[in-house]
């Protein structure tokens, strides 16, 4: 059925009638363009039709909407939509109201929603801001946040609701570890400023809280001096245990600012859309290697530098590479500006968009795997399931990070080991075969279950409450109590399907 058909059938007339009494009514849209955008996301798998979309021009608009819902005998759900880059409808609100957060950036009266402090160690940033804009604004002061995601066209509120991870996480922690303070509108419609010292329960709840406790309208993000350029080295391995040993070694010593890793398969191109690193000359060399081994592992490490360190950086990178056991002759190097490096996925996005391959289904699976079981995961998942079935063209990410940089009081859950691996199975598919990849994802989850691998899903997606309870484990009671405290009528982010029936 078309969106029109679904929308007409949806129960929106009662809501439209009730909302007509509100001050924000002129900022609510019911048209197909607004509804269509809010009922789809990057995943292209789920579609949930809201009754209306709010295009706020101030924080007060969002407060008014949430307060109003609280006062209704039959309250409606409210979902903040950042950039809609979720993959399973997490920012949707079936028959509820989606708040188009990007509208704040365009419309807020006082304009500037990214303010760098004069002391220079933080910026106050609107929750609707894209990280690329935060980067560009802070760079004007020679500063930048320290912890990133691989892709910068995501909102601050969207990534802080999950964690925000990338190759810097081992050193600085996820993005949620680098927030000093937030302004939040709770599920009751109250505006609260929170930090580790003030309203700390709300602060810890919201960070990694999957949008369940409040809408982040502003976050104070830690900044540091921005480097100018980076040396980006990529080394190839055929043996997973040597690959992970080198990764773990590199995150245990000082000197690097970024470490990631990925898996290449003999049936896929050497360069994937997310990172085209290799020159054509190298590609044929690597293809032969892939033919020989079937699977090859790539270790990516990055060292930042600027004018003061330009003369010593090559030596430092050499020293970091000394003692690593990659395949001789298979180390490659790039020298880039810091901005080009951080914004590397954008080039892939533009390329895919030009070929009409961006808006396709993305049945992603992201996992945190405890270090003690990563060998079993490789054998059971990369080698047995993925390579054998030859369905996924990746990217397939795998890199270690350190638990000590995560704050356990926050809502996000991680495995119970000092080091765990971030695994990203970032599949793209055609409209007709996403279910095959989804079945493969389920097979992977079942494998982990059978093998007793105590993994946690990142950007989690579950179908039953029992699964959510298992996901949160010992944090479930706190998560529930915080929900009762900050969003007792369970209005917020229903698309996560934690407290709202599937
Ligand atoms: C191409 C691509 C690359 C990615 N790379 C990475 C990566 O390297 N590392 C990583 O960690 N993640 C990565 N992600 C995942 C991404 O961080 C999450 O999907 C994130 O939620 C997307 O942000 P968004 O602004 O699109 O959020 P949305 O999809 O709009 O929202 C996500 C959730 O947060 C809630 N929410 C949105 N805004 C707010 C707010 N202001 N306050 C409270 N709740 C809010 C929504 O209701 C929803 O539940 C990537 C995603 C894509 C598509």
Write out pLDDT tens, residues 236-245: 999 999 999 9
Q: Which of 195, 225, 255 is the last residue of a domain?
A: 225
Residues 101 and 175 both lie in one domain: no
Instruction: Give the residue-averaged pLDDT of 465-470.
Output: 96
DSSP line for 147-179: ---S-S-SBHHHHHTT---STTHHHH--GGGGE
Query: Which among 127, 125, 330, 129 has a CA at the least distance from the CA of 236?
Result: 330
Residue 201 lies in a domain: yes
Whether the link from the prior residue into 328 is cis, omega within 30° of 0, is: no
The verdict on whether 427 is a catalytic residue reads no
How far apart are alpha carbons 314 and 154 in whole angstroms? 33
Range of the structural domain that residue 180 is part of: 112-225
Query: Which among 350, 434, 346, 354 has a CA at the least distance from the CA of 392?
Result: 434
**CA distance to 207, 402, 443, 466, per residue, from 415 (Å):** 17, 11, 20, 18
Query: Which among 205, 168, 207, 189 has a CA at the least distance from the CA of 99?
Result: 189
Q: Which of 174, 195, 225 is the last residue of a domain?
A: 225
Residues 204 and 316 both lie in one domain: no
Contact 93, 52 (CB under 8 A): no
Q: How many CB atoms lie within 10 A of CB 311?
A: 9
How close is the Cα of 145 to the center of ligand 1, in Å?
17
Q: Pick the catalytic residue: 124, 260, 300, 487?
A: 260
Residues 197 and 270 both lie in one domain: no
Residue nearest to atom 23 of ligand 1 (CA): 158
* pLDDT greater than 90 at residue 20: no
Instruction: Give the residue-averaged pLDDT of 464-482.
Output: 97
The verdict on whether 260 is a catalytic residue reads yes
How close is the Cα of 362 to the center of ligand 1, in Å?
14
Domain count, the chain: 3
How far apart are alpha carbons 237 and 331 in whole angstroms? 10
* pLDDT greater than 90 at residue 14: no
pLDDT tens-place string over residues 307-350:
999 999 999 999 999 999 999 999 999 999 999 999 999 999 99
| Percentage of the chain exceeding pLDDT 70 | 94
How close is the Cα of 82 to the center of ligand 1, in Å?
7
Residues 213 and 250 both lie in one domain: no
The reported pLDDT for the residue numbered 109 is 56
Ligand 1 mutation target, pool 80, 103, 221, 275, most atoms within 8 A of CB: 80
Query: Which among 348, 355, 425, 436 has a CA at the least distance from the CA of 391?
Result: 436
Q: What are the backbone dihedrals phi and psi of residue 259, each rounded to the nearest 5 degrees, phi first? A: -145, 125
Put the strands of the sheet holding 28-29 in their side by side order: 28-29, 52-54, 97-100, 78-81
How close is the Cα of 436 to the center of ligand 1, in Å?
25
Confidence of residue 24 (pLDDT cuts 50, 70, 90): confident
Q: Tell which atom from ligand 1 comes closest to the C-alpha of 211.
A: 44
How close is the Cα of 312 to the center of ligand 1, in Å?
38
pLDDT tens-place string over residues 25-46:
899 999 999 999 999 999 999 9
Instruction: Give the residue-averaged pLDDT of 183-208.
Output: 98
Residues 220 and 239 both lie in one domain: no
Residue 281 lies in a domain: yes
Residue nearest to atom 39 of ligand 1 (CA): 157
The verdict on whether 282 is a catalytic residue reads no
How close is the Cα of 168 to the center of ligand 1, in Å?
18
- Angle at CA 48, nearest 5°, toward 43 and 53? 105
Residues 77 and 126 both lie in one domain: no
List ligand 1's pocket residues with C-beta within 6 A: 41-42, 79-86, 90-91, 101, 127, 149-151, 154-155, 157-159, 161-166, 210-211, 215-216, 459, 493, 495-496
Task: Sort 308 into a burial class: Cβ within 10 Å, 0-12 / 13-18 / 19+.
Answer: exposed
Query: Who wins on pLDDT, 211 or 24?
Result: 211
Residues 258 and 237 both lie in one domain: yes
Ligand 1 mutation target, pool 85, 173, 178, 394, most atoms within 8 A of CB: 85
Q: Pick the catalytic residue: 41, 48, 124, 150?
A: 150
The reported pLDDT for the residue numbered 18 is 64
Residue 450 lies in a domain: yes
* pLDDT greater than 50 at residue 6: no
pLDDT tens-place string over residues 280-300:
888 889 999 999 999 999 999
Residues 248 and 172 both lie in one domain: no
Q: Name which of 11-20, 125-134, 389-398 the model is least confident about.
A: 11-20
Instruction: Give the residue-averaged pLDDT of 60-64.
Output: 96
**Range list of β-strands (E), 354-418:** 365-370, 396-402
Q: Tell which atom from ligand 1 comes closest to the C-alpha of 274.
A: 1
Extract the tokens encoding 408. Answer: 């356990």
Residue nearest to atom 34 of ligand 1 (CA): 158
Q: Which of 225, 248, 281 is the last residue of a domain?
A: 225
The reported pLDDT for the residue numbered 501 is 64
């Amino acid at each position: 059925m078309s969106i029109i058909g679904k929308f007409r059938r949806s129960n929106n007339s009662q809501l439209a009638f009730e909302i007509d009494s509100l001050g924000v009514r002129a900022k609510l849209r019911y048209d197909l363009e607004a509804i269509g955008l809010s009922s789809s996301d990057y995943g292209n798998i789920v579609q949930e039709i809201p009754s209306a979309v709010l295009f706020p021009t101030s924080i007060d608009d969002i407060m008014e909407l949430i307060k109003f819902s609280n006062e209704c005998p039959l309250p409606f759900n409210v979902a903040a939509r950042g950039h809609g880059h979720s993959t399973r409808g997490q920012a949707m609100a079936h028959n509820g109201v989606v708040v188009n957060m990007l509208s704040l950036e365009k419309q807020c009266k006082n304009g500037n929603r990214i303010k760098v402090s004069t002391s220079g160690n933080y910026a106050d940033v609107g929750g609707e801001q894209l990280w690329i804009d935060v980067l560009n604004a802070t760079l004007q002061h020679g500063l930048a946040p320290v912890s990133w995601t691989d892709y910068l066209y995501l909102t601050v509120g969207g990534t802080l609701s999950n964690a925000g991870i990338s190759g810097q996480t081992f050193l600085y922690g996820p993005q949620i570890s680098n927030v000093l303070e937030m302004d939040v509108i709770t599920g009751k419609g109250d505006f609260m400023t929170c930090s580790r010292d003030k309203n700390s329960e709300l602060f810890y709840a919201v960070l990694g809280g999957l949008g369940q406790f409040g809408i982040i309208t502003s976050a104070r993000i830690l900044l540091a001096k921005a480097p100018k350029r980076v040396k980006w080295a990529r080394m190839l391995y055929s043996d997973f245990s040597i690959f992970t040993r080198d990764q773990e070694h590199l995150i245990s010593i000082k000197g690097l600012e970024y470490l990631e890793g990925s898996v290449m398969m003999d049936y896929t191109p050497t360069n994937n859309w997310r990172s085209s690193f290799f020159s054509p000359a190298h590609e044929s060399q690597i293809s032969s290697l892939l033919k020989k081994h079937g699977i090859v592992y790539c270790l990516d490490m990055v060292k930042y530098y600027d004018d003061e360190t330009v003369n010593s950086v090559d030596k430092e990178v050499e020293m970091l590479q000394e003692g690593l056991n990659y395949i001789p002759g298979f180390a490659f190097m790039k020298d880039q500006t810091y901005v080009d490096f951080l914004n590397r996925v954008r080039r892939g996005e533009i390329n895919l968009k030009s070929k009409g391959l961006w808006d396709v289904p993305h049945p992603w699976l992201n996992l945190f795997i405890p270090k003690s079981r990563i060998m079993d995961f490789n054998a059971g998942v990369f080698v047995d399931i993925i390579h054998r079935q030859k369905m996924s063209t990746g990217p397939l990410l795998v890199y270690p990070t350190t638990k000590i940089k995560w704050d356990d009081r926050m809502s996000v859950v991680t495995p119970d080991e000092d080091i765990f691996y971030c695994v990203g199975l970032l599949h793209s598919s055609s409209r007709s075969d996403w279910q095959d990849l989804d079945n493969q994802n389920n097979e992977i989850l079942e494998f982990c279950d059978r093998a007793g691998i105590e993994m946690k899903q990142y950007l989690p997606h579950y179908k039953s409450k029992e699964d959510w309870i298992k996901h949160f484990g010992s944090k479930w009671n706190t998560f529930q109590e915080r929900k009762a405290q900050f969003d007792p009528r369970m209005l917020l982010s229903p698309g996560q399907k934690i407290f709202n029936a599937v």
